[in-house]
Structures are given as structure tokens and as C-alpha cells.
Structure 1
Amino acid sequence: MSPAKKSVDASTLKKEVAEGVDLMVVRELIGGIYFGKPRGFGTNENGDEIGFNTEVYATYEVVFFIQLAFN
């Protein structure tokens, strides 16, 4: 069985939807939400408990990731 055939069979999409799709997902795991500050827990204006995390990226990080993905 070819690798493409195995991928189609492993998809949660219907076979007729997934066949012929060529897709690659590139995920960033070196910055942003993983290292952003401030982060923590608090209370909002309605008195609800909340959690928050800040996503911060520098231009060079975004450019690096985009170039890597497109190459």
C-alpha cells in the first residue's frame, strides 16, 4: 500500500473528500504563547475567574517561520 493510500485511510475526512489533497501543516513551537508575558490567573470585571496568556512575536521570528514553511 502506498503512503498516500495509508494517509487517506487514516484521515477523519470521508475518503472522497481526502483523496487528492496535498497538504502540509507547519507549526511554530519556539516562541509566542509558550514564552509570552504577562500570563497567569485573575478575575475579570464581572467577578469571573480567568486565565490569560500573552502571545508575543518579534518580526524576525515571523519572517524566519514564514521562510522556513515556504521553502
Structure 2
Amino acid sequence: MATGWLGWSPELAWRIPLPELFLAMDARIEWAQMTNPFGAGKKALAAGKPSPATVADKLRQALTGRVSK
């Protein structure tokens, strides 16, 4: 996620703490939603697709082994 989706160098990806990685992922999702030229945010929810925040929460749970509240 850090080197591909966020575009960080491998050295930075290995040194960054997980909470900071999760904050960067959340910021990237928010940025993608704000800059979406098609504005399909609410339409995607109505179509039954999971929101990016839900996907990020599931990824966070898989990486940490903890359920977020």
C-alpha cells in the first residue's frame, strides 16, 4: 500500500509507524473522493458498492488484527 498506492519509497515504507500509514491512507481516500471528476460518491453507495472508508477499515483490521470501534 505504501509504495504502490501512496507512492512512497521502500525505505520510508519500512520506517513509517502503522498509525501514520493509516492516516495517510485515510487522507488519500478523502482526496480521491474530493477530486473525483464524476461525482459518483453517493451513487456508488446506492449501487451497493462498499465505500472507500469501509475498505480502508477492513484493510486496517487485517493488518493490525484489531477490530476498529
**What is the TM-score of this pair, normalised by structure 1?**
0.26
Structure with the largest fraction of helix: 2
Relative contact order, higher structure (CA 8 A, sep 6+)? 1
Which has more radius of gyration?
Answer: 1
Structure with the largest fraction of strand: 1
**What is the TM-score of this pair, normalised by structure 2?**
0.26
